Structure 1
């Protein structure tokens, strides 16, 4: 793994989960849809060994026509709405409900997709970290924001994801930026605990 602060290069054979993410995000790229991958898969992509059933992807808010085009494109690529039909994608996402999308006939793994809805998701969407994997590029949440937000979520698994990211990228993180997110999300105690680990 090579990281220069702007781009992260991961040199490994993609797992089946990686392949799904690369295929799904390639569709988003081809449809010119801004997206960012957040949450647990970010830790997995950067080397944490743990299972996950979903890949969380935030996308820009789209009008109905573009959302329908995305639904058609996903259907043509062999995906289906695992919780709601893809025909209802616009209504589901517009109601700030997440839509699970999986390979046809499967429930897991799935992509949990939603429209951007808060300032932190907007920050991740507008200033993502670009990861190069197997000749593809994937936009993920900035590491500093990901660490702080994982601390904010607060589960044991989230805390372990935050530790992983902090330890793997220590020395490459923008400490001022990280401290700002930690203060805004009011997770100073958790951050101090992380640093002691």
Structure 2
């Protein structure tokens, strides 16, 4: 597993015979990975909690990736958590990832 991570591969962990929900494990590669760790939030799974990247960064990053699935994920996260998101933090990530037009479309959806 270490060799896969060292080669730049990501490892997805999910329940047997399912693809969602999943956790993606990878080595830190860039400033966005570092920001995900430095600004992590806690997600509760049953009785346990795990650190995850901030939702604002997840949304902007998925818009940056731009695949249909990633954009759908961004829309879902935005709709689900809109009231608890920090608009200034989201807009900071949107600007840093240069996805302003995609974000404007997301807000209108």
Give the TM interval when normalised to the shorter protein: 0.7 to 0.9
Structure with bigger RCO (C-alpha 8 Å, 6+ apart):
1
Displacement after TM superposition at 1:193 (Å)? 0.3
Q: Distance in 2 between matches of 1:170 and 1:192?
A: 14
Displacement after TM superposition at 1:98 (Å)? 2.7
Q: Distance in 2 between matches of 1:101 and 1:163?
A: 23
Q: Distance in 1 between matches of 2:49 and 2:105?
A: 33
Unaligned runs of 5+ in 1: 1-88
Q: Distance in 2 between matches of 1:144 and 1:100?
A: 22
TM-score (norm 1): 0.48
Q: State the SS of the aligned residue for 1:170.
A: helix
Task: Tell whether 2:9 aligns with 1:132.
Answer: no
Decide which of 105, 109, 119 is 2:31's aligned counterpart: 119
Report what 1:90 is aligned to: 2
Within-5 A mapping of 1:1-197? 89-99=1-11, 109=19, 112-197=24-109
Larger helix share, 1 or 2: 2
Larger strand share, 1 or 2: 1
TM-score (norm 2): 0.83
Q: Distance in 2 between matches of 1:147 and 1:100?
A: 19
Displacement after TM superposition at 1:183 (Å)? 0.5
Equivalenced residue count is 107
Q: State the SS of the aligned residue for 1:190.
A: helix
Q: State the SS of the aligned residue for 2:98.
A: coil
Unaligned runs of 5+ in 2: none
Q: State the SS of the aligned residue for 1:180.
A: helix
